Amino acid sequence: MAVTINRDMDQGANFSFSYTVRGDGGTATNISSGHTAYAQMRKFYTSSSAITLTTSITGSTGNINVSLGATASAAVKAGVYFYDLELHSNGSRTVQRLVQGMITVYPEITKIP
């Protein structure tokens, strides 16, 4: 079952977080080959449109970085969104939802041309 973690995003600023995949004993799991991570956020879980977050895997440490650049976050309307992070195993075609929750996007006030 996925861990639920709610996050905050400042509109117009770089946004990022990392998640470490851990085994039953709590140690980091090596996901260095054959895995792909995907993360999206949506206004409603039923929304057909999604904002795709960039993911990168440092497999030997089990670490997945998730990010959205300042230009992309400036285009996200302020409000609350649902998100999740999934790990896909290319060989066995299994999908594991690692983390889920809500992202609150706070509006950008200062806008410098």
Looking at residue 48, its amino acid is S
pLDDT of 110 reads: 87
Whether pTM > 0.85 for this model: the answer is: yes
pLDDT in single tens digits along all 113 residues of the chain: 889 999 999 999 999 999 998 888 888 888 878 899 999 999 999 999 999 999 999 878 889 999 999 999 999 999 999 999 999 988 778 899 999 999 999 999 987 87
How far is Cα 12 from Cα 76, in angstroms, rounded to an integer? 8
What are the residue ranges spanned by the domains of the chain? Answer: 3-106
Query: What are φ and ψ of residue 82, in 5° steps?
Result: -95, 145
pLDDT of 73 reads: 97
Q: Which of 2.60.40.10, 3.30.70.2190, 3.40.50.1370, 3.40.50.2300 is the CATH number of 3-106?
A: 2.60.40.10
pLDDT of 90 reads: 81
pLDDT of 29 reads: 85
Give rounded-to-5 percent helix, strand, coil for the chain.
Answer: 5, 55, 40
